[in-house]
Amino acid sequence: MSNYIQKIRQKIGHEKFIHPAARILVENDKGEFLFIERADNEALGIPAGALEEKETIEECIVREVKEETGLELLAVELIGISSSPEKETVKYPNGDKIQYFTIEFYSNEFKGTIKVTDVAEVKTAAFKNKSYLKKLPSNESGIVESLSYFREMNKVKLS
């Protein structure tokens, strides 16, 4: 948990609050996408995380990908904004509740090799074929529609 969120949690406990965040679909040259296995609930997911103090949303997603997978993003593209309270409200195993306001990104420009260093947050990271996109949790799966919409309409999807 970030220092910023820890400060808020000390004041409000497990109560829900609204927080900006980012998530990303990273695609390799084989058309595979980068997935993580979360350590807290062992669910399949994609790199994502909450905005920290004194960083931009772009810096946030670049940092999260590096922390969670070891890969260094060279470029990111904005593909969607997800603010649906129904989709973006998450209750964590420890009882914390957050309603995210999530900026969605796409990248196929990165360097490095996958190496999970924060095993408290991520168990594994790997590129997998696109069929795994159907296994994403509901709060993350909307990014698939955002990417499709962006590719078809050349516009950011708002949801």
Average pLDDT, the chain: 94
Sketch the domain layout of the chain as residue ranges.
16-158
- Does pTM surpass 0.85? yes
Q: Which residues of the chain have pLDDT under 70?
A: 1-2
Location of structure tokens 């058309």: 31
Q: What is the pLDDT of residue 5?
A: 85
8 Å CB contact between 2 and 52: yes
16-158: which CATH topology? Nucleoside Triphosphate Pyrophosphohydrolase (3.90.79)
Q: What is the pLDDT of residue 96?
A: 93
Separation between Cα atoms, residue 83 and residue 103, nearest integer Å: 9
Q: What angle do CA 70, 108, 42 make, to 5 degrees?
A: 50
Q: What is the pLDDT of residue 1?
A: 56
